[in-house]
Chains A and B, each alone.
Chain A
């Protein structure tokens, strides 16, 4: 293409008509304005607010002597994540680039002179587990390894809790920062998903009692905002709980977990119901004609197909839940967002540095959300074999 052509193309595309010209000029102005502001912000920004308060942002007010718990959780989780990368079929170059990018940025945020050793250990674990798993997947131990990984994933939640609580762990009320968001989201999804499946099946049930109970539950939970439910958990929930074992003085973190799980289950149930409705009647007839019992029919024929259809919607619900965990500030918990807001407000040293703090908060939320959405693409692709 010669020069003359490109100039023609340029004017034809951007100034081809009066309307096009107006749109071009307006968007150029907005673009310049944004660039100007961003450059202005970057040139005046001071990131000390983040570097000094790194600990608060990441783990809240958890005492320093308990830090080893967090590091060991991080190591186990990185081992699991990086060993599992290869099980979704071999990752493309783009995936690997993305994973390395996210990992490095997170390391950058974590690293200080005192933690550099831990971060290096984490990185080594990541690289070693990826490389080792890569070779195991090529060997004959693949099946065995895959099954052990599955079991470990199921055990991850108990392991995390054991690590947080054993040997006089810090009170759950001291959990905070990014750690709190991740734990809450993890719990909400791990409990909300299976409960949601049962609710969806219940709603599709032919037994009127079960059906009505499920409908009432789902519609009640969905009918009020999450904030209202959290307030309810703050004021009312203790009165509903039995008094033995100190259940009525249950920690606010646990209350937040209950509310978030209940909320997630209701939304998940509706998403999965959509998937159940998309299954052709012929599938059920075929399963019936083969004399499969209800459990086999649901767990091996209907659900795998129903869930595959709704994976995008499901992951988007999960991303929503993850971001909603920041609403637990209502229960006086200091999650990542709350820490990011409080520091510039209360510490005179960092007064007026709210934007820097919030930028990092936003970025941390973004890394998790974008990873989840990438995961969803991968899962969809790996389940897509044999789709109609």
Chain B
């Protein structure tokens, strides 16, 4: 694992087996089989419409999959609500459009889930929230509303909100795609710090500089399938598949 050798990769935490999903006639996923390990940072990339977002949204069942099997932290995702709740409490998600709650203050955005789901006391939840705001470097914004923050600050708040539930896995669905260029860096810094702290992360992103720095493994998606996977050197210096070569020639 080239330059990441210092990090200890743990046992497998997400298993997907022949996962499919279609929207009407459009088949978004055609059988995704993969393993993701504890503390691993996986970057998913590929052309638009290749099923990247759909795939990570099946992992916390925002999109229920049609067939196949998804096992997260030893629990299979199916119609069982108990299983679903268990998985969702272990999986945090950050969206492209932030999806903050605009009617709640910055602090309340973070405390609502710990208070309502975990039953924490307000003071405890607020202490956690302030620590997280410190961590994403916006503690001074605690009493503002999301609309008063810049895009980059909003996305960092979204990260803090997801972290407040102390998830084992974080999913990032194109977290910087809706941001102005000068704000991308501050979000990536927070994500880098998170990766270095040993969080299991799956990121759909086009930020290849960031990906090269933090990712342990890359999955190249095209037309609902994993076409190729491997480390930066394996995929970017030495791609085996024609489609990978074609896509890389377009983006690099």
Contact = CB atoms under 8 A, between A and B. Distances in A.
Contact of B112 (A285, A292, A385, A388): A292
A285 B103 contact: no
Nearest to B94: A289
Interface residues of A, number: 22
A362 interface: no
Interface in A362-388: 383, 385-388
Contacts of A386: 102-105, 145-148
Contacts of A293: 116-117
B116 A292 contact: yes
Interface stretch (A115-123, A133-141, A177-185, A299-307): A299-307
A387 B102 contact: yes
A387 B105 CA distance: 11
B60 interface: yes
Nearest to A385: B145
A180 B228 CA distance: 76
Interface in B215-237: none
Nearest to B91: A289
B100 interface: yes
Contacts of B162: 289-290
B99 interface: yes
A296 B100 CA distance: 15
A213 B29 CA distance: 37
Contact of B88 (A283, A288, A300, A388): A288
Given A296-B116, A385-B145, A386-B147, A288 B62 contact: yes
A253 to B, nearest CB: 39
A282 interface: yes
Interface residues of B, number: 28
A282 B195 CA distance: 25
A300 B103 CA distance: 9
B151 interface: no
B33 interface: no
B97 interface: yes
B89 A387 contact: no
A388 B147 contact: yes
B67 interface: no
Contacts of B60: 288-289
Given A286-B100, A387-B102, A388-B147, A291 B117 contact: yes
Interface string A267-302: 000000000000010110110111111001000110
SS class, residues of chain A in contact with chain B: helix
B95 A387 contact: no
A54 interface: no
B28 interface: no
Interface string B84-124: 01001101110101011111110000001100110000000
Contact of B62 (A280, A283, A285, A305): A285
A305 B147 CA distance: 14
Interface string B72-93: 0000000000000100110111
Contacts of B145: 385-386
Given A296-B116, A388-B147, A290 B95 contact: no
Nearest to A308: B103
Given A308-B103, A385-B145, A291 B85 contact: yes
The residue in A288, A289, A296, A301 that gathers the most chain B C-beta atoms within 10 A of its C-beta is A289
Nearest to A305: B103
B14 interface: no
B103 A387 contact: yes
Contact of A286 (B85, B101, B116): B101
Interface in A86-133: none
A204 B61 CA distance: 21
B103 A304 contact: yes
Given A285-B99, A291-B88, A300 B62 contact: no
B130 to A, nearest CB: 18
B165 interface: yes
Contacts of B113: 290-292
A289 B164 CA distance: 12
Interface string B148-180: 100000000000011001000000000000000
A301 B109 CA distance: 10
Contacts of B105: 386
B141 to A, nearest CB: 12
Contact of A285 (B92, B95, B100): B95
Contacts of A280: 97, 99
Contacts of A288: 60, 62, 88
Given A289-B162, A290-B165, A292-B112, A388 B97 contact: no
A282 B112 CA distance: 17
A292 to B, nearest CB: 6
Contact of A301 (B88, B91, B101): B101
Interface of A: 280, 282-283, 285-286, 288-293, 296, 300-301, 304-305, 308, 383, 385-388
23 contacts: A280-B99, A283-B101, A285-B95, A285-B99, A286-B95, A288-B60, A289-B93, A290-B113, A290-B117, A290-B165, A291-B85, A291-B113, A291-B117, A292-B117, A293-B116, A293-B117, A383-B103, A386-B104, A386-B145, A386-B147, A386-B148, A388-B102, A388-B147
Interface of B: 60, 62, 85, 88-89, 91-93, 95, 97, 99-105, 112-113, 116-117, 145-148, 161-162, 165
Given A285-B99, A290-B165, 9 more contacts: A286-B93, A289-B60, A290-B88, A291-B89, A292-B112, A300-B112, A305-B103, A386-B103, A386-B148
